[in-house]
Amino acid sequence: MRVTFTVNGRVHEADDVWEGESLLYVLRERLGLPGSKNACEQGECGSCTVRLDDVPVCACLVAAGQAEGREVVTVEGLAERSGAPGGRLSPVQQAFVDAGAVQCGFCTPGLLVATDELLERHPDPSDADIREALSGNLCRCTGYEKILDAVRLAAARGGETARDGEAARP
Ligand code: FES
Ligand code: FES
């Protein structure tokens, strides 16, 4: 079957998609977007997290056909969505770098997408909000403390930018 959907603001078509093919496979292998990672393929680790019509989902559990006519955001689209100038990281990505929240980096794309969604809903999240929003994203390296620091940092910077009268979106 053919699947037509929007990824990071651009319309894409994928042909000859098998009925059981996952959205993750189509993104990585057909559309050349390898940012979303394939670790467990069972919905357990969150490394494949993307937004489907704004809602964070595990792309490994979504059949590609379910994306027909819908809008997907992957980690590759975060910088542009945030309004970061060409080639620059989004504020959330930059906060992860600055807080030292990236080690092997395998979990990072999913965490970034989940954090971006959290800060859109909750610009000033509590630690409980952060833990809940990231509870489906497993990291084997960091012990999570640096990740929590990164989310707090991104939220704090979002607040500063808002006070400065610039774009407040993290
Ligand atoms: S690869 Fe999708 S949840 Fe682990
Ligand atoms: S940084 Fe290695 S799995 Fe999270």
| Domains annotated on the chain, with CATH | 3-77 (3.10.20.30), 81-160 (1.10.150.120)
Measured in Å, residue 5 CA sits from the centre of ligand 2 at 30
Report the predicted TM-score, pTM, of the whole model to 2 decimal places. 0.92
143 lines ligand 2 (CB under 6 A): no
Residue 55 CA to residue 105 CA, distance in Å, equals 23
Residue 161: per-residue pLDDT: 44
Angle between helix 145-163 and helix 108-121 axes, rounded to 10 deg: 40
Residue 74 CA to residue 59 CA, distance in Å, equals 10
Please tell me the residue having the least CA distance from ligand 2 atom 4. Answer: 139
Residue 123: per-residue pLDDT: 96
Task: Name the β-bridge partners of 49.
Answer: 58
Task: Name the β-bridge partners of 73.
Answer: 51
Per-residue pLDDT of the chain (170 residues; tens, 9 = 90+): 999 999 999 999 999 999 999 999 999 999 999 999 999 999 999 999 999 999 999 999 999 999 999 999 999 999 999 999 888 999 999 999 999 999 999 999 999 999 999 999 999 999 999 999 999 999 999 999 999 999 999 999 984 443 333 443 43
